[in-house]
Chains A and B, each alone.
Chain A
Amino acid sequence: MDSFLYILALAGIKLGIVFTLVLLAAAALVYLERRIAGIIQDRLGPNRTGPFGLLQPFADVTKLLMKEDIVPEAANKKIHGIAPIITLGVAFVVYAVIPFGDYILINGEKIYMGLATAPDINIGILFILAMTSVGIYGITLAGWSSNNKYSLIGGLRSAAQMVSYEIAMGLALVGVVMLTGSFGLSDIVRHQDGWLWNIFTQPLGFIIFLTASFAEMNRTPFDLPEADAELVGGYNTEYSGMKFGMFFLAEYANMATSSAIIALVYLGGWTLPVPAETLGLEDGSVLLGLAQFVTFIVKIFAMTIFIIWVRWSIPRFRYDQLMHLGWKILLPLGLINLVLTAVGIKIFA
Chain B
Amino acid sequence: MLTDFGIILLFLIISVLFVGAGLVTAALLRPSRPNPVKNSTYECGEHPWGGSWVRFNPRFYVIALVFLVFDVELVLLFPWAVVFKDLGWFAFLAMLVFFAVLVVGLAYDWAKGYLEWDKPSPQTPKLEDLVLPKKIFHKQQKDS
Q: Per the CB under 8 Å rule, do A and B touch in the complex?
A: yes
A-side residues, CB < 8 A to B, are: 7, 11, 15, 18-19, 64-75, 81, 84-85, 88-89, 92-93, 95-97, 115-116, 118, 121-122, 126-127, 146-152, 156, 159-160, 163-164, 166-167, 170-171, 174, 177-178, 181-183, 232, 237-238, 241-243, 245-246, 318-320, 323-324, 327-328, 331-332, 335, 338-339, 342-343, 345-346, 349
Contacts of B22 in A (CB 8 A): 65, 242, 245-246
In whole angstroms, what is the CA distance A245 to B25 when docked?
13
Interface size class of B (residues with CB under 8 A): 35 or more
Name the residue of chain B whose CB is nearest to the CB of A69: B30
- For the complex, is B19 an interface residue (Cβ under 8 Å from A)? yes
Pick the contact of B15: A93, A171, A181 (CB < 8 A): A93
Interface centre among B18, B41, B53 (most CB of A within 10 A): B41
Contacts of A85 in B (CB 8 A): 16, 19-20, 23
In whole angstroms, what is the CA distance A18 to B54 when docked?
43
Looking at the assembled complex, report how far the CB atom of A176 sits from the nearest CB atom of chain B, in whole angstroms.
9
Evaluate whether A65 and B60 lie within 8 angstroms (CB atoms) in the complex, with A116-B5, A181-B82 already known: no
CB-based contact A167/B67 at 8 Å:
yes
In whole angstroms, what is the CA distance A347 to B72 when docked?
29
Contacts of B63 in A (CB 8 A): 160, 163-164, 323, 327
Evaluate whether A15 and B110 lie within 8 angstroms (CB atoms) in the complex, with A148-B43, A183-B78 already known: no
Pick the contact of A74: B23, B41, B89 (CB < 8 A): B41
Evaluate whether A163 and B67 lie within 8 angstroms (CB atoms) in the complex, with A85-B20, A320-B119 already known: yes
In whole angstroms, what is the CA distance A13 to B23 when docked?
24
B-side residues, CB < 8 A to A, are: 1, 3-5, 7-8, 10-12, 14-16, 18-20, 22-23, 25-27, 29-34, 36, 38-44, 48, 51-54, 56, 60, 63-64, 66-67, 70-71, 74, 77-78, 81-86, 89, 92, 95-96, 99, 103, 106, 110, 115, 117-120
Pick the contact of B30: A68, A89, A127, A149 (CB < 8 A): A68
Given contacts A115-B8, A122-B4, 13 further A-B contacts (CB under 8 A): A15-B10, A70-B38, A115-B11, A147-B41, A148-B43, A152-B52, A159-B60, A160-B64, A181-B83, A182-B82, A320-B120, A335-B99, A346-B92
CB-based contact B10/A89 at 8 Å:
no
Looking at the assembled complex, report how far the CB atom of A348 sits from the nearest CB atom of chain B, in whole angstroms.
11
Mostly helix, strand, loop or mixed at chain B's interface?
Answer: helix
In whole angstroms, what is the CA distance A95 to B11 when docked?
9
Looking at the assembled complex, report how far the CB atom of A64 sits from the nearest CB atom of chain B, in whole angstroms.
7
Evaluate whether A66 and B30 lie within 8 angstroms (CB atoms) in the complex, with A115-B11, A148-B52 already known: yes
Name the residue of chain B whose CB is nearest to the CB of A115: B7
In whole angstroms, what is the CA distance A18 to B11 when docked?
10
CB-based contact A73/B41 at 8 Å:
yes
Contacts of A69 in B (CB 8 A): 26-27, 30, 32
CB-based contact A183/B82 at 8 Å:
yes
CB-based contact B70/A70 at 8 Å:
no
Evaluate whether A96 and B39 lie within 8 angstroms (CB atoms) in the complex, with A67-B30, A85-B19, A85-B23 already known: no
CB-based contact B41/A181 at 8 Å:
no
Contacts of B18 in A (CB 8 A): 19, 92
